[in-house]
Chains A and B, each alone.
Chain A
Amino acid sequence: MRFGVVRFPGSCDEVDALGACGRVGEAEILWHGDRDLRGVDAVVIPGGFSYGDYLRVGAIARFSPVMESVTAFAREGGPVLGICNGFQVLCEAGLLPGALLPNVGLRFLCRQLEIEVVDAGTAFTGACAPGDRLSIPAKHQAGRYYAPGEPRVVFRYAHDGNPNGSSNDIAGVANEGGNIVGLMPHPEHAVDPLTSSTDGLRLFESALALARA
């Protein structure tokens, strides 16, 4: 299977995302100014920043040429994973419900934490079971998830360890179809025993299992 990882001006986690995807399949960069998704089987919108995050996080990136194609791909059921800034972009684009607000503590946070899998029926959690805990790092300043209504919750911060004040301890959500998933913590940074945990790989393995099914 082939993953495409979007690179915006300001992305900084796309190389780790490429590496994580590369452990389970092939992976290549998709340029933000390019509408061609090159026939990839899944798209990852990585973390970092996009277009300076001027105005609001993700607000400008959603209008980029590549997002037109990602939106069409996602609406047809293609698997799309948004990590951190990628999650913010997917919310701004209306592909996921809700929005990300500045952390309740107003500070940038960076720490290893555990998230609990709530929904193992999405494109990126099929290799998990509900209740599984994944140890992966989070690093962000605007991770306070807010959504009116009841979004499809995929991950929650475990052990009462909500670091940002998100509603109902939500760490990640999916669209109704379960093919679009966004989360604030960074699974792509937890794929090598050298950096303590390989739990993040499960998300990428889930996409692979789905592609093979």
Chain B
Amino acid sequence: MAASVRARVLIRPKAGILDPQGVAVERALPALGFTGVANVHVGRLVELDVEDPAQLEAMCEKLLANPLIEDYEIVSFERPEAEQVSQVAGPDAPRS
């Protein structure tokens, strides 16, 4: 497999659309003694390794998010080297 980049897509309810999960969490936190909490929103995290990060935007528009109701943010970063080594040695590695 060609070198890939790990990306995280953060998906959250679009501003202005009621987010009842966020509201429920925001109300629950003070009940546990955590004060000064505001603007809580609950969304999704999609983590993926991609060979071509340029395709991420199209992936978001077509499948990962619904742009009508959700905003998304793409964060990509290099995978830790140790992890890349361990993947080669994983269950999919060829065995002699």
Q: Which residues does A use to contact B, with CB under 8 Å?
A: 55-56, 59, 63, 92, 98-99, 101-106, 144, 146-148, 165
**Could you pull out 5 A-B pairs where Cβ atoms are within 8 angstroms?**
A59-B66, A99-B69, A102-B20, A103-B20, A105-B20
Chain A, Cβ-Cβ closest to B63: A59
Interface size for B (C-beta < 8 A) is 12
* Residue pair B20, A106 in contact (C-beta under 8 Å): yes
Contact of A98 with B24 in the complex, beta carbons under 8 Å: no
Which chain B residues lie closer than 8 Å to A106 at the CB level?
20-21, 24
The count of A-to-B residue pairs whose CB atoms sit within 8 angstroms is: 33
Partner of B20, one of A59, A104, A147, A148: A104
Contact A56 B66 (CB under 8 A): yes
Cβ contacts B47-66/A at 8 Å (1 or 0 each): 00000000000000001101
List B contacts of A99 (CB < 8 A).
66, 68-69
Residues of B participating in the A interface, judged by any CB pair closer than 8 Å: 13, 17-18, 20-21, 24, 44, 63-64, 66, 68-69
Q: Are A101 and B24 in contact (CB under 8 A)?
A: no
Residues from chain A with Cβ under 8 Å of B68 in the complex: 98-99, 146-148
A112, B69: Cα distance in complex, Å? 28
- Indicate if the CB atoms of A92 and B21 lie closer than 8 Å: no
Q: Tell whether A55 pairs with B20 under 8 Å between CB atoms, given A99-B69, A146-B69.
A: no
B21 near A102 (CB under 8 angstroms)? yes
Rounded to whole Å, the gap between the CB of B19 and the closest CB of chain A is: 9
Q: How far is the CA of A144 from the CA of B19 in the complex (A)?
A: 11
| Additional A-B contacts beyond A106-B20, A144-B18 (14; CB < 8 A) | A59-B63, A59-B66, A63-B63, A98-B68, A99-B66, A99-B68, A101-B13, A101-B17, A101-B69, A102-B20, A102-B21, A104-B18, A104-B20, A146-B68
Given contacts A101-B17, A146-B17, contact A92 B24 (CB under 8 A): no
Question: CB-CB < 8 A to A105: which residues of B?
Answer: 20
6 shortest A-B CB distances, which residue pairs? A99-B69, A99-B68, A106-B20, A104-B20, A99-B66, A56-B66
Residues of chain A within 8 A of B21, CB atoms compared: 102, 106
What residue of chain B has the Cβ atom nearest to residue A100's Cβ?
A: B69
CA–CA, A119 and B55, complex, Å: 42
Give chain B residues whose Cβ lies under 8 Å from the Cβ of A147.
68
A77 to B24, CA, bound (A): 43
Report the nearest A residue to B68, measured CB to CB.
A99
Is A55's CB under 8 angstroms from B17's CB?
A: no
The answer to whether B66 and A165 have CB atoms under 8 Å apart is no
For B64, list chain A residues within 8 Å (CB): 55
What's the least CB distance linking A173 to chain B, in Å? Answer: 14
Q: CB distance B69 to A55 under 8 Å?
A: no
